[in-house]
Structure 1
């Protein structure tokens, strides 16, 4: 690693902010507003608090074990490699849905940018997954400088949207704040939680961060607080500026409408372009990150080595192609709400476990030990809220999610059995 340029605190913050803003807010804001109404900014604040607690626990566990690898390393050290492998399979599935979410959003924004109807959106989303997977396999990835420029440009555009939005906020649209009820406010906080997924990607690059024991916790804390404030302000000016029928009509690309009252069509185009670059960048970064995670899991025998043995530019070929195929299938069969819900459920599940492990491993002392326990309870409760809402409002999706979880567990158990049998014969 000595010959590789280390990531500064500025670079690390950019990576974490980019991982969260990458496609999250462009994808889920409309769903959040349709659920919580004027209280969406509070919902995003709730999600931000959970993310901040979880991020601090991630940072402390990573620095304690002093090793790159994120959740897999924590769980391997604390609960054993088999448990770590099982949870990592769920994490990989969560990333598949996240890639699909970004691709779905890319299709919606790029389709609107080019004046297309909604029909071609799937083909645009599927095409960008294949294109960016191919770029990953060819060794193309963002450099540190280009990534910083892209991330901070996106952040500047969002801050500009906030500033423009405050010019058009109308008090009569802001009140009442809880116009959709407290229950929906909490539900929306759980639903849009996937918008905070991304900070943990820093733990995969822990060893490449300059003075990592100090800068990793700083970068995670700074980035989550920054993103939470941006999300809350964006949601506040959106609900205070746009009528509900406009939000409902443009739910999938609602962020683009925020610039229209001041900048007209030019403002819409700027946001559409920003969303297209943002979601494509998020796909590229996520595919690359999961590929590294896949190699790390396979190294300990918790993933079929055939998926990661053949590599191109350090990226496992078959594993990457499998991810791309699954993400395209999810995008084809799922709608935005279903994809968002499953993504959020998966990360809430994994984060609740990581928080609990932080509690058991005493990453805090004294009364502060309750902090990770609170994070675990919060993430688990939010996950249960989503399950309950699915059971009540969309029974078919509820059973589909349970079915996917059961199938994944069965596949995992079958792999463990075959792997141990093969290993026993080989030994």
Structure 2
């Protein structure tokens, strides 16, 4: 940690390229790949591969914009910092608000996924325990969290490799089954749902103060993590389409269904364990990212300033981690999984919309990406956000408006004599 006059002023830069990539993989290759393909197939129908391609293009643009900005502003907070520096205080605040609120819901969704696989009859209780346990892991230092994430990623990739081999070697799906009609709107909604599973690369950017040589490491880590994740997602999607066909649409646990239909029921416990471990990996990385954005916003007093404290021994924003952990634990014990995912998706897309707008303002000397990248990224985020189910759109708009109102009220009060 960095000191000024004996006071702790920042976080330790202890993470290298491998750790940063693994944290990104731990966030992206998580519960989404086990759960999102079914709902996405129900929305996109036979256009599922197109939906995956659309989600990947938007994710690539967002990743590129985020990486260029993170290299320029290697501080904790991600797009909260970028928006503030490039677009103004309000846009940075709105991005941070959308990220913290949306990803808090996503943390609850990941925790509930753990519960639904480990002990379905007591999913909420298991979810709460998972949140509290991982909050304790984060509290004692990010390096320990990175090593744990590495172990999770290796195990989950092994499970997914088994599913791909089983799926691609199994007899083809029943040719008599037919896909339901599909449309461009359905493909976009499917892409929005699949984008939820790609969004973990933001965790790398929000760890900007803890990465060594961030100008070099962060862009490389984002690119490597996203490319590898896309390869894994494409392989799993092709395997599930091959063995399940139209039965993939709406499947609650498509990977479990795939190994069972392929004639390997003995692999079901392994796949269920992989899903639970993947969700834990996502939850771990999400808690890291949300606490760091909370730290950055607390430094600027958008949140209580006490949350900006950094632990003198462990070098982590311990108060922010504890508060976020408790809020997520309460949400995990009470909310519905589907509602949490829908609400989170809208917030994540709003967050990246600000990131792309901020990247547009970079000059060539500041590492500006090709002009088409932030344009496609911004347009893609807006389109996918409003293609989501109506309930998610309405809730997301209301929450963002509430955040904007809070910002305006604070500014008005600060001007009073």
TM-score in same-fold range (> 0.5) = yes
What is residue 97 of structure 1 aligned with on the other side?
Answer: 105
* 1:38-87 deviations in Å (ceiling 9; x for gaps): 43233122111111111111111222345454212211211233431232
**Deviations 1:18-40 (CA, angstroms, capped at 9, x unpaired):** 12113322242222122223432
**2:30/2:281 contact within 8 Å kept:** yes
The correspondence of residues 141-290 of structure 1 with structure 2, limited to 5 A, is 142-168=144-170, 170=172, 179-242=181-244, 244=246, 248=250, 251=252, 253-262=253-262, 264-290=264-290
Deviation of 1:377 (Å): 0.8
Contact 1:33 1:239 in 2 (8 A): no
- The size of the alignment, in residue pairs, is 407
Listed as ranges, the matches of 1:8-407 within 5 Å are: 8-111=16-119, 116-117=120-121, 120-137=122-139, 142-168=144-170, 170=172, 179-242=181-244, 244=246, 248=250, 251=252, 253-262=253-262, 264-309=264-309, 313-316=314-317, 319-328=320-329, 330-331=331-332, 334-362=335-363, 368-386=370-388, 389-390=389-390, 399-407=394-402
Q: Distance in 2 between matches of 1:206 and 1:378?
A: 25
Other-structure match for 2:405? 410
Structure 2 CA distance for partners of 1:270 and 1:408, relative to 1, 3 Å: same
RMSD: 3.3
Q: Does the CA contact (< 8 Å) of 2:99 and 2:347 recur in 1?
A: yes
**C-alpha distance 314-301 of structure 1, shift in aligned 2 (>3 A):** same
Change beyond 3 A, Cα 1:399–1:71 = closer
Quote the offset at 1:360 in angstroms.
Answer: 2.5
Aligned equivalents of 2:73 and 2:310: distance in 1?
Answer: 30
State the TM-score, normalizing by the size of structure 2. 0.85
For the Cα contact (< 8 Å) 2:24–2:200, is it kept in 1?
A: yes
Rounded Cα–Cα distance in structure 2 between residues aligned with 1:370 and 1:290 = 29
Deviation at 1:228, TM superposition (A): 1.4
User: TM-score by structure 1 length?
Assistant: 0.83
